[in-house]
């Protein structure tokens, strides 16, 4: 939501791009640092109350942050928001895993992971609209807490804590391993490590495009002769494109997986690999196109992000079937830690650093300054655009690297799935206790 009103926040606190970027970094750092803590707790204690507490904390600190009048206090509450989000992001997929199995689980994970691209797109649209309609950016942060409180009430009143492993025909007790023992077992799981590495590449690209996308397009569109697009128009359209690509891409991944799984047992990592490798050249041409044709640029961004979004729910499903139920919360936590630390927490800084250094070495005389534009264009504007353009090309190479990780994952996926099932298996199948869970005794 803050991205949709980022310029207003910068003006309110009189901060530059570096401090504005630190708001996102603070959120992501607290999110990834506390994820392993909630993962450890989720494998040992009641997940329902941990998740409800996290949503409540997220809601209250988001609301409180909107009333802060100094940059220091505002960034402090961004840290608290990250802690709250870490709890339910870590635990919610494992609860879904214990309520559903096979195709039903894939469907529910796809529904759950709608929140990422759809929420990101709505953040641009709703945030800017609320600030414009009510005259202050603060109101952009006062809408979602009400929805969060409603979610807490629904969790406490309607959600029943499912037995770990119940939907798979097992009754797994809470983990009695030490933190170090769980960590060693996860790090020797090749499918978990490789899918996490591939997903980190997805997070890197997603984070870079989400953070710099609108401002990069504004720089590029400014160089098109006759263009008169406003900043709000670009942010709105970018948000719509991001939301639609998620609306189609997130469920398309598991749909393709279920369609092909009976013929190809390794199809999940292969779909993830194909999505990244196909997205890379499309992303490359999207980054090339802002100075030529806006419609083509938006179409290329949509297509590139659609293929990128094939990964979200499939990666979550891979984790759930290659890791036994007793370690799934910890596995979710460490996947969050690594994918954010090396992905969307670092990519805005890295892309910005490369762009700033390129500004110092690019020769303005080597670029043609366009004429007949709606606003005067200087050599500095052209250098700013091309420095960011060259820096964003890094995302294309990262996508190819992520595709290679998933191709390697396909080598080990079947073996690791069988080992996880073997560890979780038991002789006697329990009576199902959750009203949604599949009865594992049904043939």
DSSP string over 323-367: S-GGGHHHHHHHHHHHHIIIIITTHHHHHHHHHHHHHHH--GGGS
Q: What is the pLDDT of residue 59?
A: 87
Strands (E), 92-177: none
pTM, two decimals, is 0.74
CA dist 33 and 122 (Å) reads: 26
pLDDT of 142 > 50? The answer is yes
pLDDT of 377 > 80? The answer is no
Quickly list H helices, 143-291. 144-158, 179-187, 190-221, 231-260, 267-288
Contact 311, 275 (CB under 8 A): yes
Between 100 and 7, the more confident residue is 100
Average pLDDT over residues 392-403: 96
Between 209 and 120, the more confident residue is 209
- CA distances, 262 to each of 104, 189, 258, 266 (Å): 16, 24, 8, 10
Strands (E), 43-106: none
CA dist 213 and 283 (Å) reads: 12
Sign of CA dihedral 247, 99, 90, 310: negative
Other C-beta atoms lying within 10 Å of the C-beta of residue 318? 28
Give all domains of the chain, ordered by start, each with its CATH number: 1-158 (1.20.1250.20), 178-427 (1.20.1250.20)
Question: Cα–chain-centroid distance for residue 380?
Answer: 33
Residue 102, both tokens: 């096979």
pLDDT of 13 > 80? The answer is no
Interval 235-275: pLDDT, tens: 778 888 988 898 898 889 888 988 888 888 899 999 999 99
DSSP string over 358-387: HHHH--GGGSPPP-S-SS---HHHHHHHHH
Interval 315-362: pLDDT, tens: 988 988 888 877 877 888 788 888 877 888 788 878 888 888 888 888
Between 190 and 168, the more confident residue is 190
């Amino acid at each position: 939501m803050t991205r949709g009103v980022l310029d207003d926040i910068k003006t309110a606190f009189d901060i530059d791009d570096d401090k504005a970027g630190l708001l996102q970094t603070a959120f992501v750092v607290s999110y990834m640092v506390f994820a392993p803590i909630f993962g450890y707790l989720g494998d040992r204690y009641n997940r329902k109350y941990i998740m409800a507490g996290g949503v409540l904390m997220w809601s209250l600190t988001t609301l409180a942050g909107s009333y802060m009048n100094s940059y220091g206090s505002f960034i402090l509450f961004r840290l608290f928001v990250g802690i709250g989000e870490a709890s339910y992001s870590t635990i919610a997929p494992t609860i879904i895993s214990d309520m559903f199995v096979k195709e039903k689980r894939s469907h529910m994970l796809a529904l759950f992971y709608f929140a990422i691209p759809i929420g990101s797109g709505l953040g641009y649209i709703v945030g800017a609209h609320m600030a414009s309609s009510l005259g202050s950016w603060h109101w952009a942060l006062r809408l979602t807490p009400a929805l969060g409180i409603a979610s807490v009430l629904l969790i406490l009143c309607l959600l029943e804590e499912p037995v770990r492993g119940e939907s798979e025909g097992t009754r797994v007790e809470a983990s009695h391993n030490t933190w170090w023992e769980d960590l060693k077992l996860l790090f020797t799981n090749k499918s978990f490590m490789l899918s996490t590495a591939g997903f980190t590449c997805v997070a890197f690209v997603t984070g870079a495009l989400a953070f710099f996308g609108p401002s990069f397009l504004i720089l590029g569109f400014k160089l098109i002769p006759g263009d008169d697009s406003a900043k709000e128009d670009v942010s709105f359209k970018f948000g719509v494109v991001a939301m639609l690509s998620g609306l189609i891409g997130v469920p398309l991944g598991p749909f393709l997986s279920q369609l092909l799984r009976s013929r190809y047992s390794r199809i999940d990592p292969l779909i993830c690999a194909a999505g990244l490798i196909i997205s890379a050249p499309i992303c490359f041409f999207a980054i090339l196109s802002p100075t030529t044709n806006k419609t083509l640029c938006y179409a290329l961004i949509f297509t590139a992000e659609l293929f990128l979004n094939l990964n979200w729910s499939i990666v979550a499903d891979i984790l759930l079937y290659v890791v036994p139920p007793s370690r799934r919360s910890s596995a979710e936590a460490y996947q969050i830690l690594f994918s954010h630390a090396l992905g969307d927490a670092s990519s805005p800084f890295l892309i910005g650093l490369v762009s700033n250094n390129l500004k110092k070495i690019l020769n303005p005389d080597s670029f043609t300054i366009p004429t007949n534009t709606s606003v005067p264009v200087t050599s500095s504007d052209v250098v700013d655009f091309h420095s960011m353009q060259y820096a964003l090309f890094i995302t294309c190479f990262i996508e190819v690297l992520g595709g290679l990780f998933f191709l390697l994952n396909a080598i080990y996926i079947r073996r690791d799935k069988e080992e996880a099932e073997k560890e979780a298996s038991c002789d006697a199948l329990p009576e199902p206790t959750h009203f949604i869970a599949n009865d594992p005794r049904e043939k």
